[in-house]
């Protein structure tokens, strides 16, 4: 199967559609009153890293829900060259940013990495993450106490050719 | 077990038929003419991919796919083979127990010479690859040889490749019938189908570079060894030319030969010679 | 095209299931034939990985006393070995057809 | 033993760009080795960058960060020649630290 050169319009729309629906679901997930702790505090957020779904992980890590924002620019490949090393970066024009985190929905544990952004540090991070399979990737930016998110689907294919 | 093998074999033949169809050629006289072979080989790729810059062919799959090239360039800012490179540099200058170092075994102290390997040794009458020369240097100085598929060898060749980066591949075939025979033997191995998949190196790297076989985007055969050794995300580690040959064999379900056996040395000689003029880009990062 | 058809037929032909339950003697004969063919393939430096695993499966089944499966696996190993020998012989000349000229 | 941390800090104007590559297996604990046993989880949990006595960047990592992890960020308020201190700790209590001059 050869990859199409550019994503034709219909697929692009489906992707965006799916993304926004997912986030809506994310917004009003009724579950136990998770401890509304402050933004990622100094201690290593053990509990958040143990959550399976990204909704729970966001809830445990930030204690509040995110809303999609086009001010959060998430850059990730459409088809990952290799699921073990996927270059991902996020930048944002929001100000008073205190934290940036990445969630890989289809991984065994959704929370992949969480960064504390002290003031004076530019709100942008690039890193390389592992992805188990084709997945939704969510970047969360905490700015002035509110959560903003961007989502992108990354296709991950089985490695190896024959064998 | 039985049905699976037959179905596999059947599907291999369907793939085979599709691939073989594009490869009917008239068989010409059999005088070995490496210069003509190299010219034909390079023109084949230059015509098949007119908008790929000639020196880009050494970037393998990244010369075939823009999105992957972008991912690669991002990684090249701080490449994963950085550690192998530093380890190789350190190993290269650490003296053996007898006080000598690799620099004493190689012309120009081993710096900036990778583009001349492999070479044909007229005394021995065989092809000598860089990996073989490194192990021979170790043995000549009373040290145990390294495995051809493990990290130490990859670190050494990574450092030597790095010191030759950008230099055009410069492989020579001396006027010696045994050298011509080695070149021809390498060419034969390159085009010979093997394994239950019944693929030759050419089935993938000549007939369908840029296409995908399962998840992998296939690299063009032209300049395919210029980036060796490579850090493969697939192996999350370094890979020497030997490791690449051995794994490619087993992926077509052919039992690999011993690393550095004649066929591998000759096919490396053939592939390097036909890439003469294209820049060394090792060590490389690959999917 | 002609060459690969012959290869497929050769393989299919030899996989015909045997009728009565196999015993140790049948297994020993089938295994010996498979091993000989596999040595032939190795001699031509064109062994297939699936031949080696089929031979191992045959021995494992035999050790477990399941001679039906052992004979079937040994027969498959022999067929695969023969196919790889056929491949090596035909490729001696066939490779030239693929050469870039 | 050379440090496991490779870092490149370059400043232009008031902004310093920092790239770091760390040698670490980052095992997830979900992968089996050739003998079929699970390789225990072994991954960097916290990576801290300090400059002029102040944290400029703190990373909390899980098992989904790639082997030989890489991170890039930028910050204001430092100049050429200032010293950047980088340190990491992993889930097995391992750690390493190094310093780098901003070029």
Question: What part of A 83-112 touches B (C-beta under 8 Å)?
Answer: 84-87
Number of domains present in the structure of chain A: 1
Kindly calculate the radius of gyration of chain D based on its CA atoms and give it in whole angstroms. 15
What CA–CA distance (Å, rounded) separates A38 from B139? 62
Question: What part of B 90-119 touches D (C-beta under 8 Å)?
Answer: 90
Q: Is D59 exposed, middle or buried (CB count within 10 Å of its CB: 0-12, 13-18, 19+)?
A: buried
Say if D103 falls within a structural domain.
Answer: no
B135–chain A nearest CA distance, Å: 30
Say if D78 falls within a structural domain.
Answer: yes
Enter the DSSP assignment of C39: H
C-alpha of D93 from chain center? 15
| Predicted confidence (pLDDT) at residue A79 exceeds the cutoff of 60 | yes
C-alpha pair distances (Å), B223 with each of B56, B269, B275, D88: 9, 12, 5, 40
CATH of the domain at A126: 2.60.40.2470
What CA–CA distance (Å, rounded) separates D30 from D63? 9
Decide if A116 and D30 are in contact by the 8 Å CB cutoff: no
Which residue among B82, B90, B236 sits closest to D21, beta carbon to beta carbon?
B82
Beta bridge partners of A114: A101, D60
Say if A161 falls within a structural domain.
Answer: no
pTM recorded for the entire structure: 0.80
Structural domain including A89 reads 38-154
Say if D71 falls within a structural domain.
Answer: yes
Catalytic residue positions of B? 248
Give me the mean pLDDT over the D26-37 stretch. 91
CB pairs under 8 A between B and C: 94
Is A52 touching D (CB cutoff 8 A)?
no
Average pLDDT over chain C, rounded to an integer: 89
Asked if residue B242 has a cis previous peptide bond (ω within 30° of 0), the answer is: no
Q: Which DSSP string do the residues of chain B spell out, in sequence order?
A: -HHHHHHHHHHHHHHHHHHHHTT----------HHHHHHHHHHHHHHHSTTS-GGGGGGGGGGT-HHHHHHHHHHHTS-TTHHHHHHHHHHHHS--TTS--GGGTSGGGGTT-GGG-SEEETTTTEEE-HHHHHHHHHHHTT-PPPPTTSHHHHHHHHHHHHTTTTPBP-----S-HHHHHHHHHHHHHHH--BTTTTB-HHHHHTT-TTSEETTEEPPPSTTTTTT-SEEETTTTEEE-HHHHHHHHHHHTTBPPPPTT-HHHHHHHHHHHHTTTTSBP--SEEE-
What count of other Cβ atoms lies within 10 Å of the Cβ of residue B258?
11
pLDDT-based confidence at A25, cuts 50/70/90?
A: very low
What is B29-78+168-286's CATH superfamily? Cytochrome c-like domain (1.10.760.10)
| Predicted confidence (pLDDT) at residue A113 exceeds the cutoff of 90 | yes
CB pairs under 8 A between B and D: 23
Decide if B215 and A161 are in contact by the 8 Å CB cutoff: yes
D20 contact residues in B (CB cutoff 8 A): 78
Q: Which of C5, C10, C50, C57 should one mutate to test binding to chain B, selecting the residue with the greatest count of B CBs within 10 A? A: C50
Number of domains present in the structure of chain D: 1
Q: Which chains touch C (3 or more CB pairs under 8 A)?
A: B
Give me the mean pLDDT over the A115-132 stretch. 95
Residue given tokens 């015993």 in the structure block: C23
Q: What are the residue ranges spanned by the domains of chain B?
A: 29-78+168-286, 82-162
| Predicted confidence (pLDDT) at residue D91 exceeds the cutoff of 80 | yes
Decide if A126 and B211 are in contact by the 8 Å CB cutoff: no
Say if D31 falls within a structural domain.
Answer: yes
Q: Of A32-36, A125-129, B84-88, B146-150, which range is least confident?
A: A32-36
The pLDDT assigned to A80 comes to 87
What CA–CA distance (Å, rounded) separates B138 from B114? 17
Binding-site positions of B? 105, 137, 201, 204-205, 244, 248
C47 contact residues in B (CB cutoff 8 A): 254-255
- The tokens of B27 are what? 């068989």
Q: Which residue has the higher pLDDT, D89 or B237?
A: D89
Say if D32 falls within a structural domain.
Answer: yes
Which residue among A44, A122, A128 sits closest to D45, beta carbon to beta carbon?
A44
Q: Could you say which residues of chain C have pLDDT below 50?
A: none
The pLDDT assigned to B11 comes to 60
Enter the DSSP assignment of A162: -
* Domain B82-162: CATH class, spelled out: mainly alpha
Query: Quick check: ipTM above 0.85?
Result: no
Element holding A163 (H helix, E strand): none
C52 contact residues in B (CB cutoff 8 A): 255
Say if D102 falls within a structural domain.
Answer: no
Average pLDDT over chain D, rounded to an integer: 94
Report the SS3 class of residue D84: strand
Q: Could you say which residues of chain B have pLDDT below 50?
A: 1, 22-29
Beta bridge partners of A99: A116, A142
C-alpha pair distances (Å), C78 with each of B9, C12, C50, C72, C84: 15, 12, 11, 10, 10
Structural domain including D37 reads 5-97
Q: Which of B216, B230, B232, B250 should one mutate to test binding to chain A, selecting the residue with the greatest count of A CBs within 10 A? A: B216
- Name the nearest CA neighbour of B214 among A9, D89, A1, D59: A1
Q: Which residues of B57-66 are buried (b: 16+ CB within 10 A; e: fewer)?
A: bbbbbbbbbe
Structural domain including C89 reads 2-14+21-98
Is D72 touching A (CB cutoff 8 A)?
yes
Report the SS3 class of residue D4: coil
- The tokens of D8 are what? 């490149």
| Predicted confidence (pLDDT) at residue A138 exceeds the cutoff of 80 | yes
- The tokens of A119 are what? 């003031």
Residue given tokens 């050769």 in the structure block: C10
D69–chain B nearest CA distance, Å: 9
């Amino acid at each position: 199967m050869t990859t199409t050169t550019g994503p034709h319009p219909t697929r692009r729309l489906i992707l965006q559609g799916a993304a926004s629906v997912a986030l809506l679901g994310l917004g009003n997930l009724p579950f136990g009153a998770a401890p509304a702790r402050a933004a990622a505090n100094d201690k290593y957020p053990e509990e958040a890293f143990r959550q399976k779904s990204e909704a729970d992980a966001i809830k445990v890590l930030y204690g509040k829900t995110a809303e999609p924002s086009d001010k959060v620019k998430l850059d990730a490949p459409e088809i990952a060259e290799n699921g073990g090393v996927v270059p991902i970066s996020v930048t944002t024009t929001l100000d008073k940013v205190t934290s940036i985190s990445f969630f890989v929905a289809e991984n065994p544990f959704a929370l992949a990495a969480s960064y504390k952004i002290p003031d004076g540090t530019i709100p942008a991070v690039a890193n390389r993450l592992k992805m188990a399979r084709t997945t939704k990737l969510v970047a969360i930016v905490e700015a002035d106490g509110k959560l903003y998110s961007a989502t992108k689907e990354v296709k991950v294919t089985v490695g190896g050719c024959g064998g | 077990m039985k049905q699976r093998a037959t179905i596999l074999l059947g599907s291999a033949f369907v793939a085979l038929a599709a691939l073989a169809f594009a490869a009917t050629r008239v068989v010409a006289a059999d005088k070995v003419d490496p210069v003509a072979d190299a010219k034909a080989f390079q023109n084949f790729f230059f015509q098949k991919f007119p908008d790929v810059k000639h020196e880009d062919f050494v970037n393998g799959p990244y010369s075939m796919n823009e999105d992957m090239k972008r991912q690669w360039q991002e990684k090249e800012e701080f490449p994963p083979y950085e550690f192998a490179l530093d380890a190789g540099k350190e190993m290269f200058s650490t003296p053996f127990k007898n006080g000598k170092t690799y620099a004493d075994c190689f012309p120009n102290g081993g710096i900036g010479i990778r583009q001349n390997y492999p070479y044909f040794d007229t005394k021995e009458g065989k092809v000598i690859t860089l990996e073989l020369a490194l192990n021979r240097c170790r043995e000549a100085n009373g040290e145990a040889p390294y495995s051809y598929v493990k990290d130490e060898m990859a670190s050494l060749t990574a450092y030597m490749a790095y010191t030759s980066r950008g230099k055009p591949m410069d492989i020579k075939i001396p006027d010696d019938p045994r050298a011509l025979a080695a070149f021809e033997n390498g060419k034969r191995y390159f085009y010979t189908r093997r394994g239950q998949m019944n693929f030759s190196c050419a089935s993938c790297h000549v007939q369908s570079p840029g296409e995908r076989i399962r998840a992998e985007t296939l690299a063009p055969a032209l300049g395919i060894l210029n980036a060796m050794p490579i850090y493969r995300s697939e192996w999350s580690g370094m890979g020497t030319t030997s490791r690449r040959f051995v794994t490619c064999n087993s992926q077509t379900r052919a039992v690999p030969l011993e690393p550095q056996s004649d066929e591998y040395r000759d096919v490396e000689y053939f592939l390097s010679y036909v890439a003469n003029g294209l820049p060394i880009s090792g060590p490389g990062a690959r999917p | 095209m002609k060459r690969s058809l012959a290869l497929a037929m050769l393989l299919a032909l030899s996989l015909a299931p045997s009728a009565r339950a196999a015993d140790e003697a049948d297994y020993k004969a089938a295994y010996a034939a498979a091993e000989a063919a596999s040595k032939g393939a190795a001699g031509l430096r064109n062994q297939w990985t699936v031949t080696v695993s089929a031979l191992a499966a045959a021995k494992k089944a035999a050790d477990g006393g399941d001679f039906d499966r052992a004979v079937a696996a040994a027969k498959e190993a022999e067929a695969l070995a023969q196919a790889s020998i056929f491949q090596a012989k035909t490729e001696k000349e066939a490779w030239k057809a693929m050469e870039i000229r | 033993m050379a440090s496991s941390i490779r870092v490149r800090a370059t400043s232009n104007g008031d902004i310093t760009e920092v790239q770091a590559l760390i040698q670490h297996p980052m095992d997830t604990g979900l992968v089996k080795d050739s003998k079929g046993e699970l390789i225990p989880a072994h991954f960097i949990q916290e990576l801290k960058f300090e400059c002029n006595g102040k944290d400029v960047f703190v990373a909390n990592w899980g098992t989904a960060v790639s082997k030989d992890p890489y991170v890039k960020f930028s910050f204001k308020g430092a100049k050429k020649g200032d010293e950047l201190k980088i340190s990491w700790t992993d889930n097995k209590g391992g750690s390493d630290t190094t310093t780098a001059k901003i070029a």
